[in-house]
Copies of this chain bind each other. A is one copy, B any other.
Amino acid sequence: MTASHLTPALPVSDMDSALAALRSRGLRISAARRLVLESLLAADSPVTAEQIADGLGGRLPRSDLASVYRNLDTLEEIGLVRHVHLGHGPGRYALASAGEREYLVCDRCGVLRAVEPRELDGVRAQLRAAFGFEARFEHFPIVGLCANCRD
């Protein structure tokens, strides 16, 4: 059920507009669904399904992991949510932001840097020119060594 057929992003930054988006597609507003949204609104960087299920370490009620995955999937299908794969380890989810985000992740220390897509347009242009390849770093980030770890 992995939402790979990415629907256009539908950025929201408050609970009410998120709920409106759900209602407008006939999706229901359940406690579990609301909790996933609360977690994502509270998080300041992409979080794992497990962190959400654990109530962000006690700050919110816990919920069932399978339901969290299902809800993240649903929310991603309607464009409210996006997820990134940071090397090994579980995927990380965030609310879709206006203008999406692309990522750079450090292989050594794991630090994640989100950038605006236009900051990578030069890179994209080079890759398009050299290989006819249209790169996207929103779902699978650029991996390497950050300024700190580079020594």
- Asked if A144 is at the interface (CB within 8 A of a chain B CB), the reply is yes
Check A144 against B115 for contact (C-beta < 8 Å).
no
Which B residue sits closest to A136, measured CB to CB? Answer: B144
Which segment of A8-16, A53-61, A71-79, A122-130 sits at the interface? A122-130
Check A147 against B127 for contact (C-beta < 8 Å).
no
Output the residue of A141, A144, A146 with the most chain B CB within 10 A: A144
Check A136 against B131 for contact (C-beta < 8 Å).
no
Which of B104, B122, B136, B146 is A143 in contact with, Cβ under 8 Å?
Answer: B136
Seen from chain A, the residues whose Cβ lies within 8 Å of a Cβ on chain B are 2, 85, 87-88, 104, 106-107, 113, 115, 119, 122-123, 126-127, 130-137, 139-147, 150
